[in-house]
Amino acid sequence: MKTKPYLIYLPDEAATLDFAGRFYRTLPFGCMVYLRGTLGVGKTTFVRGCLRAAGYQGKVKSPTFTLVEEYALQGRSVYHFDLYRLSDPEELEWMGMRDYLRPDALCFIEWPERGEGVLPDPDVEIHIAIEGFSRNLSVLPFSTIGCKILEGLSSVDFKRSLPPGSVDVSSAEMAAKMASLPGKSGWE
């Protein structure tokens, strides 16, 4: 699929939570979102922002030890997976992964490379990289649904309402920035 990624610079955690909430509003039912980045880069923070936008007010923690957390929100099931501790992709079959992939479900999957060969392809993939206390984020589509999500993110109205201090940047700028970043931790 030849579509340019959506790239954004987010100056702080508040901007990341805000952007994640706006991103959530572009997601249809039955969507699969992969989250990629080093430990502590803000993958769970991003999911927290999405869940807040859906109205969830409880604690959002990384499901590192449980592998999955389920949230029932506004007629939609949201599943947050963290596959960091998965030792074999086949473990996903044993835990009933296919049962989570329902038409009404939204799945966020951290460390999807650990489930390679068992997980279906994502609709959209988010890459988060650290730059000091800021984050560079790219959103890449992998399906027709993913392309529609990118269209929503690229709309003029969406760009006008970006979080304060956030910058929608060109592909060349972001690619250069992301390639030069060390993998230091910052947020959970």
Could you tell me what percent of the chain has a pLDDT over 70? 81
Range of the domain at 22: 6-179
Distance CA 186, CA 183 (A): 10
Answer whether residue 137 is part of any domain: yes
Answer whether residue 49 is part of any domain: yes
pLDDT at 38 exceeding the cut of 60: yes
pLDDT at 5 exceeding the cut of 90: no
Model pLDDT, residue 112: 95
The residues near 62 (Cβ < 8 Å, ≥ 6 apart) are: 43, 44, 82, 110, 188
The helix/strand/coil state of 3 is coil
Answer whether residue 146 is part of any domain: yes
Model pLDDT, residue 176: 54
Answer whether residue 57 is part of any domain: yes
Answer whether residue 41 is part of any domain: yes
Answer whether residue 185 is part of any domain: no
Token pair 């449980």 in the structure block, residue: 66
The structural domain count of the chain equals 1
pTM of the predicted model, to two decimals? 0.83
- What confidence tens digit (pLDDT) does each residue in 11-22 have? 999 999 999 999
Answer whether residue 184 is part of any domain: no
Identify the CATH number of the domain in which residue 85 sits: 3.40.50.300
Model pLDDT, residue 168: 66
Distance CA 142, CA 119 (A): 14
